[in-house]
Amino acid sequence: MSTPLRIGVAGLGTIGGGTVKLLVQNADLLAARCGRPVTLAAVAEPNRNRNPGVNMDGVTWYEDAMALVDSDVDVVVELIGGSGGIALKLCQAALARGKHVVTANKALIAHHGTELARAAEGAGVVLNYEAAVGGGIPIIKALREGMVGNGFARVYGILNGTCNYILTTMRETGREFADVLREAQELGYAEADPSFDVDGVDTAHKLAILASVAFGCEVDFQAVHVEGIRQISAEDIQFADELGYRIKLLGVASRTDGGVEQRVHPCMVDKKAPIASVEGVFNAVVAEGDFVDTTMYVGRGAGERPTASAVVGDIGDIARGLRVPTFGVAAGSLARLPTRPMSEHTGAYYVRLTVVDKPGVFADIAGALRDHQVSMESVLQRGRDPGEPVSVVMTLHETVEADMTAALAKIEASPAVVEPPHMIRIEEF
């Protein structure tokens, strides 16, 4: 019989528990498909009450994750979480000892991916992280292996199921953000502290990783422009529907003549665009390759079972002897590409204003737009209420972000504008 591949799992939370279950329950299937046994040899978890509910006979239990480094496991699976601390220390030590590393930790890879990839390459071992982006969607393998012959101009997607659930529910029910967020927390779709999700940080971590794989560049989380969904109102969603759009929190990475543009923010997308139909907790990633054209991948982006599936997929690759560079090219060849600043972004815009309904207001708004070379496409106003605040919505033709921002600053300074203008970018797919 072939030599077993011995696995050590650090962290028995939701994903760790699911990974252990899959390794134990589907051991025969894995052995048949990988050509050798894949054996759960050890776990590391300080809380002994976190037993995943499967037969752990013969599995060594450590309370200290660092003990895995000195154990006889071949693969260390880091499922502790966090961009630094024990997770980073464990991965660094495991790679230095010549052990393969598999992780679902998107923050770790976004902040330290380039460094860890170089360490893995230097040690002649593998660093795999499929589960860090898109949960059960095999998007890293698709970009890195399935479309290895393609140059990519753009990769984008819905990368956070919590935000997609909130925006979907707001549209379906007409309720406001805060109300739907509370419901999402009660259902377990949002954390007690939802900041990483709703403020766009989680999406930004994943986008930085996708950009590195797509463009062969160093992971640069600091270069990502990040906005969340807290400011999206039920009124915005209603206006979007009237204009023929859906609002989605997207991560978009593009390779342009001015450098790599990485941005996370709410977007209005045409209802007819395939990504507009991805609802609820589902994720979707779209890649635009020069030969394959446009491909889209949809699936559950989080949860015990989908994420464990991706983790074990990475383990299976190691068991089969598959060796692929961490980000698609040798770590020493990862490029340092220039960053295209958000001020240079060009696109169309939606703007919602709350203004006092009186003569001359539109003339002032039009003047501010004209002075900054911004062209108006359409205007919507529901009803009239002379002397009182009303909502006015404009869509603007494609323009440069810096000009749009300057025009909105001038509009905001008008005494007839009673709230800061609210802007959402319109994406053409």
Catalytic residues: 206
**Alpha-carbon span 421 to 408, nearest angstrom:** 7
Q: Which residues are paired to 158 by β-bridges? A: 284
Give the residue from 266, 251, 147, 148 showing the smallest Cα distance to 206.
251
Widest CA span of the chain, in angstroms?
Answer: 86
Pairing label, strands 152-158, 282-289: antiparallel
Q: What HEC string does 267-310 produce? A: EEEECCCHHHHCCCCEEEEEEEECCCEEEEEEEECCCHHHHHHH
Give CA separation, 351 vs 29, 44, 241, 347, 362, in Å: 54, 51, 14, 13, 14
Q: Which helix (H) or strand (E) holds 245?
A: strand 245-256
Residue with tokens 């009673």: 418
- Provide the CA 187 distance to its chain's centre, in angstroms: 21
CB-based contacts of 113, cutoff 8 Å, min separation 6: 129, 209, 212, 219, 326, 327
Query: 390, 352 in Cβ contact below 8 A?
Result: no
**Alpha-carbon span 154 to 294, nearest angstrom:** 10
What are 175's two structure tokens? 């309720």
Give CA separation, 24 vs 9, 41, 310, 311, 382, in Å: 12, 11, 15, 14, 60
Torsion of CA 183, 185, 188, 189, to 10 degrees: 80
**Alpha-carbon span 22 to 167, nearest angstrom:** 32
